[in-house]
Amino acid sequence: MPGEETKKPLTQLKGMGVSEGVALGPIYLLERERVAVPHSRIPPEGAEAELARFKKALAATQRQLELIKKRIQTEESRDLQYIIDAQVLILKDVLLLQGTEDGIRQGLNAEWALELVRDRIKTVFEHLGDEYFRERRSDVDYAVERLLRSLLKRRVESIEDVKGNMIVASRDLSPADTAQMVHSRVIGFITDMGSKSSHTAIMARSLEIPAVVGLKNVSQLVKTGDVVAIDGFTGEVVINPDAATRQRFAELKKSFRSYQTQLPRYRRLPAVTRDGNPIRLVANIELVEEMGAVKRYGAEGVGLYRTEFLFMNRKDLPTEEEHYQNYRKVAEAVFPQPAVIRTLDIGGDKFVSQLELAPELNPAMGLRAIRFCLKEPKIFKSQLKGILRAGELGNLKIMLPMISGVEEVRAAREIIEEAQAELKKDRARFAAGIPIGIMVETPSAVAAADLLAREVDFFSIGTNDLIQYSLAIDRANAAVSYLYEPLHPGVLRMIRSVADAGRAQQIRVAICGEMAGDPFYTAVLLGLGLEELSMSPYSIPRIKRMIRMIDQGEARNLADRLLGVPTGSEIASLLTKKMEEWFPDFRSDQILYKTSLDDDLMKGGKDAEHDTHLGISSRRTSG
């Protein structure tokens, strides 16, 4: 237990922190090893009995999922229920059922037939360019694994078996597992697998349970009862922590709690630099359910709503009415502040209604985002009509992703105009003069920013993709991640030139890539001329705090100087040095909740002095 000293060797691991917070406690090891799939031949006369066995197991699995869903039926857990629904849907998928039944008729036992179909479906998902969609393979896995266990009469161990405040460790967790944490006493979780955009990670954030994923083999290193300390922000995990480590984590936990209690008060302070320059801080969201966090963390609106989630986990396409209802909720929740709705930004085309996708050799450069929408104007138009109708309140904006030149903007505008004309004909109410902006995330859009600025109402720089495309490195490929340098001179110059092009045409330039949410880059971004930063709602307080300590004039001089430095690593060390000079207690690995917000709250307003405690994350490589 947390208070006891352990004799076991201390092991330090580093994973991906996907849901912030600190936890220290005993492990509950959840067995999620894949069941071994038996392969046997069924003679023709046995096929009917095998089919019946399959159907019985299927019904039992569906009942289990319905039961889990029922148990979490609260207003706040709608998105969780939705995720369970996705698994229910997978188990109703014609391709899956028909394919398995065909296999059985051809003489395979049910488990074997099911395994083959699962692998076929997963291969199709694998070829999708978008990380989020690739991640959906695991939904197929979770659902099929549950069904396989039903067939083999193997019990699915449940989060509900967790007694007391424990940290769950597992190879992987399904969204159904995470959903059950709503009513459990799980205080954190760690997994071998997982990524930031996995459903499990998203749910951990919405449940505010600290989580670290991608730990490779942690489930083999621990057993139930071992003590572990986890930091869901930095990704640090310590198994069998010694007294000093426990003390450190206990303090960290205390700071995090105090940080959380201070957040509401911090919300009221304006985001202005020391010399009085207001900076707009807005939120990146993926689900309507995040609007609570948008308010709680004091965002001045939504700078990027990634609407891809609306298209996920379903076999049909969202209707215009669904789009409308969804965006309307965002518009109302944020009113009178604005919300930027980004139109669909996905990879391959037939991802929703069919699973037979055309695999692309280079999906990141394939039929993505606006290219897909212009090719599928019906899908695009139904989303646009939903946005236009929901924009009736006057606070929505449309943002087009992956624009590479003026032609795409014009083509999209034509479709927007058609959508408006059709709505008018139907006497529907909609936003006639809705602002239209673009993501600047391709090198050609940067080079042509002056031309694009004449055609649109705003820019938002997507550094996640801009870094990927300008440095020619796959953002999902670990082998080249060392080249992913937000401070590369090429990247900084691009940001500066986009900011300049926007200013020349008097259009607003924001940034919505991950760089915007890391305080290490705040001074540089302000110095490069950005006046709006869009980030995960959770990052807003720490960025606001940073902004309040920065002098815009000094930041500009700093950016000018950095632009003359030839390499990313030299820029990074110069920036670090400057930070240490400006803020004497600067520690590059400090994060916000290790410090207190109180000092700034006491000082308040524009006259806040330089705060010596900085909110700096240690993730230097994130875009």
* Residue 512 interaction partner, one of ligand PEP, Mg ion, none, beta carbon < 5-8 Å per kind: ligand PEP
Query: Counting contacts by CB under 6 A, is residue 441 touching ligand PEP?
Result: yes
Q: How many residues bind Mg ion (CB under 5 A)?
A: 3
Length of the chain as a residue count: 623
Q: How many residues bind ligand PEP (CB under 6 A)?
A: 10
Q: Which C-beta is closer to Mg ion: that of 239 or that of 467?
A: 467
Q: At 258, list the tokens.
A: 């105090």
Query: Counting contacts by CB under 5 A, is residue 226 touching Mg ion?
Result: no
Query: Counting contacts by CB under 6 A, is residue 513 touching ligand PEP?
Result: yes
b/e burial code for range 61-88 (CB count within 10 A of at least 16 → b): bbebbeebbeebeeeebebbbbbbebbb
Beta strand spans in 164-313 (E): 166-170, 186-191, 211-213, 227-231, 236-239, 280-285, 302-306
Least distance to ligand PEP, CB of residue 304, Å:
6
The residues, ordered by sequence, that sit 6+ positions from 287 with a Cβ below 8 Å of its Cβ are 79, 202, 206, 309
Query: Counting contacts by CB under 6 A, is residue 150 touching ligand PEP?
Result: no
**Among the residue ranges 59-67, 312-320, 384-392, 458-466, the one whose residues contact ligand PEP (CB under 6 A):** 458-466
Least distance to ligand PEP, CB of residue 293, Å:
17
What string marks each residue from 305 to 344 as x (binds ligand PEP by CB under 6 A) or -?
A: -x--------------------------------------
Q: Which C-beta is closer to Mg ion: that of 241 or that of 348?
A: 348
Q: Which C-beta is closer to Mg ion: that of 145 or that of 441?
A: 441
**Among the residue ranges 159-167, 287-295, 461-469, 494-502, the one whose residues contact ligand PEP (CB under 6 A):** 461-469
Query: Counting contacts by CB under 5 A, is residue 363 touching Mg ion?
Result: no
Strand partners for 167:
27, 188
Clarify whether 373 is annotated catalytic: no
Q: What are phi and psi of 252, to 5 degrees?
A: -60, -40
Among residues 199, 323, 488, 613, the one annotated as catalytic is: 199
Q: Which of residues 441-460 bind Mg ion (CB under 5 A)?
A: 441
CA–CA distance, 20 with 258 (Å, rounded to integer): 14
Q: Which C-beta is closer to ligand PEP: that of 301 or that of 513?
A: 513
Q: Which C-beta is closer to ligand PEP: that of 272 or that of 310?
A: 310
Closest CA to 221 of 233, 238, 204: 238
CA–CA distance, 230 with 127 (Å, rounded to integer): 34
Q: Which C-beta is closer to ligand PEP: that of 231 or that of 345?
A: 345
Least distance to ligand PEP, CB of residue 484, Å:
12
CA–CA distance, 233 with 16 (Å, rounded to integer): 8
Least distance to ligand PEP, CB of residue 493, Å:
17
Least distance to ligand PEP, CB of residue 306, Å:
5
Classify 335 as helix, strand or coil: coil
Query: Counting contacts by CB under 6 A, is residue 465 touching ligand PEP?
Result: yes
Q: Which C-beta is closer to ligand PEP: that of 222 or that of 440?
A: 440
Query: Counting contacts by CB under 6 A, is residue 512 touching ligand PEP?
Result: yes
- The side-by-side arrangement of strands in the sheet containing 186-191 is 11-14, 236-239, 227-231, 22-30, 166-170, 186-191, 211-213, 16-19
Task: Tell how strand 302-306 and strand 280-285 pair up.
Answer: parallel
Query: Counting contacts by CB under 6 A, is residue 357 touching ligand PEP?
Result: no
Q: Which C-beta is closer to ligand PEP: that of 306 or that of 578?
A: 306
CA–CA distance, 387 with 380 (Å, rounded to integer): 11
* Residue 505 interaction partner, one of ligand PEP, Mg ion, none, beta carbon < 5-8 Å per kind: none
Beta strand spans in 383-478 (E): 396-400, 436-440, 458-461
CA–CA distance, 51 with 146 (Å, rounded to integer): 18
| Angstrom distances, CA of residue 21 to CA of 10, 212, 234, 597 | 21, 10, 10, 16
**Among the residue ranges 19-27, 420-428, 456-464, 491-499, the one whose residues contact ligand PEP (CB under 6 A):** 456-464
Least distance to ligand PEP, CB of residue 447, Å:
17
* Residue 463 interaction partner, one of ligand PEP, Mg ion, none, beta carbon < 5-8 Å per kind: ligand PEP
Closest CA to 491 of 518, 476, 511: 511
Query: Counting contacts by CB under 6 A, is residue 540 touching ligand PEP?
Result: no
Least distance to Mg ion, CB of residue 373, Å:
14
CA 340 to the chain's CA centroid: 17
Query: Counting contacts by CB under 6 A, is residue 462 touching ligand PEP?
Result: yes
Helices (runs of H) and strands (runs of E) counted in the chain: 24, 16
Least distance to Mg ion, CB of residue 289, Å:
22
Clarify whether 39 is annotated catalytic: no
Strand partners for 211:
19, 189
* Residue 306 interaction partner, one of ligand PEP, Mg ion, none, beta carbon < 5-8 Å per kind: ligand PEP
Task: Tell how strand 532-535 and strand 280-285 pair up.
Answer: parallel
Q: Which C-beta is closer to ligand PEP: that of 349 or that of 600?
A: 349
Least distance to ligand PEP, CB of residue 449, Å:
16
Query: Contact with ligand PEP (CB under 6 A): which of 191, 463, 617, 622?
Result: 463
What string marks each residue from 383 to 402 as x (binds ligand PEP by CB under 6 A) or -?
A: --------------------
CA–CA distance, 299 with 544 (Å, rounded to integer): 10
b/e burial code for range 31-50 (CB count within 10 A of at least 16 → b): ebeeeeeeeeebeeeebeeb
Q: At 297, list the tokens.
A: 């963390």
Q: At 423, list the tokens.
A: 């709505």
Q: At 273, list the tokens.
A: 């630099």
CB 526 within 8 A of CB 547: yes
Query: Contact with Mg ion (CB under 5 A): which of 465, 485, 518, 600?
Result: 465
Q: Which C-beta is closer to Mg ion: that of 238 or that of 440?
A: 440
Least distance to Mg ion, CB of residue 348, Å:
16
Among residues 323, 373, 512, 613, the one annotated as catalytic is: 512
Strand partners for 166:
186
Query: Contact with Mg ion (CB under 5 A): which of 210, 462, 527, 537?
Result: 462
Q: Which C-beta is closer to Mg ion: that of 402 or that of 559?
A: 402
Query: Counting contacts by CB under 6 A, is residue 232 touching ligand PEP?
Result: no
* Residue 513 interaction partner, one of ligand PEP, Mg ion, none, beta carbon < 5-8 Å per kind: ligand PEP
Residue 276 region, left (φ>0) first, then alpha (ψ -120 to 50), else beta?
A: left
Strand partners for 398:
341, 436
CA–CA distance, 60 with 63 (Å, rounded to integer): 5
Please list the active-site residues: 199, 512
By CB under 6 A, name the binding residues for ligand PEP.
304, 306, 345, 441, 462-465, 512-513
Which spans of this chain sit near Mg ion (rule: CB under 5 A)? 441, 462, 465
